[in-house]
Amino acid sequence: MVSAMDFGIEPLPSRTRRHFLQDGGLGLGTMALAGLLQGESRADGLPAGSNPLAPRHGHVTPRAKNVIYLFMAGGPSQFELFSHKPKLRELNGQVAPESFFQKAKSFAFIGKGAKLLGSAAEYRPHGHCGMELSSHLPHLSSIADEICWLRSMVTDVFNHGPAKLFMNTGFQIPGRPAMGAWATYGLGSESRNLPGFVVLQSGPRGPRAGNALWSSGFLPTTFQGVPFRGTGDPILNLANPPGIDETQQRDFFDIVGSRNRKRLEVTRDPEIATRISAYEMAARMQTSAPELMDFSSESAATLADYGVEPGKNSFANNCLLARRLVERGSRFVQLYHTDWDDHGGAGANLGEPFAKRCQEVDRPTAALISDLKQRGLLEDTIVVWGGEFGRTPMGEDRQGIMGRDHHINAFTMFAAGGGFKAGHLQGSTDELGFEVAEGAVHVHDLHATLLHLLGFDHERLTYRFQGRDYRLTDVLGQIRPELLA
């Protein structure tokens, strides 16, 4: 291949469309660029400004203003928690009907010949709603009437990473904005001192698909989730380095901020607004973050209710942090608790390890909902609990230890507060729990309903990217009025 260098000609510097437009005569290039970037930096009717996280209103009157999403990474078994199936127990050990394998979109591991697995969990109805819950959830059972039970969830994707992406972003491939990014993009944040979208993690490892689950995708990066640590400084390197005092830091921020603002006036690039916001937020967090992490102002009774162990990174600590974050104005807080992938085999089965995970989340989840209600926060805060899919009514035997495979045809999630109907039992499944019998709620429907409660028409909360308008619900999703109070 012949190049200009072969003839002793120096190549021109790399030029982009942005350079070309900026260099256009009489300011036409700059004006054109500003128009292009403005068009791609706002949703329908939502203004773009120098502070991308300034509080905003949606399309309709909201019922809620905050979301706490408790994500059980790995797919908890509904049969051991929420779905009482006496017929399945009666047929335990029999080969599953061949029709299961004809109706299912796919299973991750099991095939024809898999045997039905009845649950050994003890069930009884709770509350006025009569929701049947297993003995694994004694604390949630005590607040059954506060919760909207989504017993007929369905999804499209059966492997962990893509399924987590689908549940969080509405699409199974990385690159789309997470639900929390859409919420903060649409509503901004009511906190000046903490991020609008915060991610907290607990469990033995991070969730599959990693930070793509809380990415801002093609939205400006100011809307991406900010991972916090559960103890100590929530973000590494938040304190000034040795030898840098507050005056030197302020001088640095002033100089950098001034240059960034001048550049923003020229380009209207939302990433520059993100950069300005990030510097300012980092400075304010040096004061606000230690206060957030200090539980000394919490009563002994509150700490006991959550099961908090000060200084320990745990789901319980993260639930209390989530309440403190929404109190301080953060818009969307997402907790990931991992290791719910119960196929069978050592360390991943429906026996003692499963019971331990239930103990880790049962008390703190119930305490969070009760605490929010007692403080008057549940009315405008949505709490969502669930994984990326459910588990099969058939068993999966690994190393002689029984578990269950991934299942997308029917599983259970729940929501509370923020306009969801308390004590509502949504939908039902067949007698073996294989598929939804009535009242199916698709992931896109859940997303549409959540956005509606936050004040958005899910078809209008869009972002133009590469010539197309994108939204959280893709081209599907329906608001489910039967779920609303």
Per-residue pLDDT tens digits for 84-134? 999 999 999 999 999 998 876 679 999 999 999 999 999 999 999 999 999
Q: Which amino acid is at 342?
A: D
Q: Give φ, ψ of 261 to 5 degrees.
A: -65, -40
Please count the residues of the chain.
485
Looking at residue 310, what is its pLDDT?
A: 82
Place of tokens 């300005």: 276
Q: Give φ, ψ of 174 to 5 degrees.
A: -60, 150
Other beta carbons less than 10 A from residue 406's beta carbon: 27
Looking at residue 347, what is its pLDDT?
A: 56
What residues contact 102, with CB distance under 8 A and at least 6 apart?
Answer: none
| pTM recorded for the entire structure | 0.87
Query: How do beta strands 428-429 and 436-438 pair?
Result: antiparallel
Report the alpha-carbon distance of residue 144 to residue 152 in Å, rounded.
Answer: 17
pLDDT interval class at 258 (50, 70, 90)? confident
The helix or strand, by DSSP H or E, that contains position 292, with its residue range, turns out to be helix 270-293
Place of tokens 């939302």: 270
pLDDT (average), residues 452-473: 97
For residue 289 the two structure tokens come to: 């973050």
**Is the pLDDT score of 329 beyond 90?**
yes
pLDDT (average), residues 271-289: 75
- Domain boundaries of the chain, sorted by first residue: 61-235+292-464
Tell the burial category of 128 from Cβ atoms under 10 Å away from its Cβ (0-12, 13-18, 19+).
exposed
CATH of domain 61-235+292-464: 3.40.720
